[in-house]
Amino acid sequence: MSALAKNYNRRKIAFKRGKGSFLYSTNGKKYLDFVQGIAVNSLGHANPYLIRAINKQAKKVWHVSNAFLIPEGEKLASRLKQRTFADYVIFQNSGAEATEAAIKVARRYFYSIGKPHKNRILCIKNSFHGRTLATIFASGSKKMTEGYGPKVDGFDHFEFGDHHSLKKKINNKTAAIMVEPIMGEGGIKVVPDWCLRELRKICNKKKILLILDEVQCGVGRSGKFFAFEYSKIKPDIVPIAKGIGGGFPIGAVLMTKKVAFCMVPGTHGSTFGGNPLAMSVGNAVLDQIFKKGFLKNIQKVSKYFHNELDNIKNDYPKIIKDVRGVGLLIGLKLFKNQSKFIKKLEMNKLLTIKAAENVVRILPPLNVSKFEIDLAIKIIRKVCKEL
């Protein structure tokens, strides 16, 4: 009997090793892994470059307290600054910590400019921002918050796409609007670029902050470093996590100097966040993602992938309702419950994972090859045919 608590509904399959896009199970089967730890292993399994980086750092120093200077973190932060909207970065260990830090920064900003009453965050109903007490109430999901009262106050919600309610919910207590540019867990729902631009305008007009949660869609997943870059806007605060560590737990909150000034010594901290081992891996991930042509290639292969999936949808219009997503954050919205479909894919050696709204989430590593995409296409087509 497992001594692990039952809070996960685990599939009965374990892996002994991985390589690139593939996983090898303990019972000797080879799977094409288009889950990649839920968009975490951005460079696939057992990436030689990342292995070298982590080994090299492991022999030097793993962890020191943030009470000291950490050059590896200085380097990672300054590279993020150089390549993005951000002026400052705080490192964390996970997505929920990063989004929660984003909320803290927004509140602390208004506190610091003498408007402490502006402390409420406006979020999309049934979004996903993590599993800490604050972030489950930010997500506004009944399922995730059930049994975890008392309610953490300070969050208001509007329905996805309901612009009227969004505007109505902003009041003089609102500090920020927080949305995922592409809702991952929520079913790969893309906030259109014009909506992001409109959100930016509303935030400017109301003098509130725009937080874009790029924990899942960020760090190259969309084909740009950040998904919001397609809209050409600049957010104020952006939490990231999943992809930046390539499998090593790293979170971060990125922010402009306008808001960062409020984070003075003692206002926030983390024991593990930003340690040398994590930062060295983060730097190695960026070495690859910032390589010339890397993001362009994601755009190219993902366009091919989306086209092929559209073709399958056209051939099986009674099974697939919609192909969603941007870049390599892809969702197949099915007419029926997606679990059976995911199981069939697994039986055919393709691993995918579900998202809300009957969506099958497809998350290849960012360095996936056309050959591997073709293999996935073949399996998806076969499962549609047999269904």
Ligand X SMILES: *Cc1c(COP(=O)(O)O)cnc(C)c1O
> Least Å distance between CB 97 and ligand X?
7
241 near ligand X, rule: CB under 6 A: yes
> Least Å distance between CB 247 and ligand X?
12
95 near ligand X, rule: CB under 6 A: yes
CB 172 within 8 A of CB 120: no
Between residues 325 and 377, which has the closer beta carbon with respect to ligand X?
325
Between residues 131 and 321, which has the closer beta carbon with respect to ligand X?
131
Q: Which of residues 249-268 bind ligand X (CB under 6 A)?
A: none
Q: What is the 3-state secondary structure (H, E, C) of the chain?
A: CCCCCCCCCCCCCCEEEEEECEEEECCCCEEEECCHHHHCCCCCECCHHHHHHHHHHHCCCCCCCCCCCCHHHHHHHHHHHHHCCCCEEEEECCHHHHHHHHHHHHHHHHHHCCCCCCCEEEEECCCCCCCCHHHHHHHCCHHHHCCCCCCCCCEEEECCCCHHHHHHHCCCCEEEEEECCEECCCCCEECCHHHHHHHHHHHHHHCCEEEECCCCCCCCCCCCCCHHHHHCCCCCEEEECHHHHECECCEEEEECHHHHCCCCCCCCCCCCCCCHHHHHHHHHHHHHHCCCCHHHHHHHHHHHHHHHHHHHHHHCCCCEEEEEEECCEEEEEECCCCHHHHHHHHHCCEECEEECCCEEEECCCCCCCHHHHHHHHHHHHHHHHHC
Going by C-alpha positions, the residue among 180, 247, 186, 177 that lies closest to residue 215 is 180
Q: Which of residues 104-133 bind ligand X (CB under 6 A)?
A: 128-130
> Least Å distance between CB 354 and ligand X?
14
Query: Backbone dihedral region of 38: left (phi > 0), alpha (psi from -120 to 50 degrees) or beta?
Result: left
Q: Contact region for ligand X (CB under 6 A) — 118-126, 177-185, 297-305, 320-328? A: 177-185
Q: Token pair for residue 327? A: 């870049």
216 near ligand X, rule: CB under 6 A: yes
Q: Contact region for ligand X (CB under 6 A) — 90-98, 195-203, 260-268, 341-349? A: 90-98
Residue 126-165 contact track with ligand X, rule CB under 6 A, x = bound: --xxx-----------------------------------
State which of residues 80, 90, 96, 366 lies at the interface with ligand X (CB under 6 A).
Answer: 96
State which of residues 41, 42, 57, 99 lies at the interface with ligand X (CB under 6 A).
Answer: 99
Residues in the chain: 387
Between residues 129 and 189, which has the closer beta carbon with respect to ligand X?
129
308 near ligand X, rule: CB under 6 A: no
Q: Is 150 exposed, middle or buried (0-12, 13-18, 19+ CB in 10 A)?
A: exposed
Q: Looking at beta carbons, which residue is closest to ligand X?
A: 95
Q: Which of residues 196-215 bind ligand X (CB under 6 A)?
A: 213, 215
Between residues 241 and 373, which has the closer beta carbon with respect to ligand X?
241
* 180/81 Cα distance (integer angstroms): 21
Between residues 44 and 95, which has the closer beta carbon with respect to ligand X?
95
> Least Å distance between CB 52 and ligand X?
25
Between residues 99 and 141, which has the closer beta carbon with respect to ligand X?
99
> Least Å distance between CB 208 and ligand X?
20
Q: Which of residues 343-372 bind ligand X (CB under 6 A)?
A: none
180 near ligand X, rule: CB under 6 A: yes
> Least Å distance between CB 210 and ligand X?
15
Q: Contact region for ligand X (CB under 6 A) — 80-88, 178-186, 264-272, 303-311? A: 178-186
Give how many residues touch ligand X by CB under 6 A: 15
Between residues 45 and 221, which has the closer beta carbon with respect to ligand X?
221
In the complex, the residues that contact ligand X under the rule CB under 6 A are 94-96, 99, 128-130, 180, 184-185, 213, 215-216, 241-242
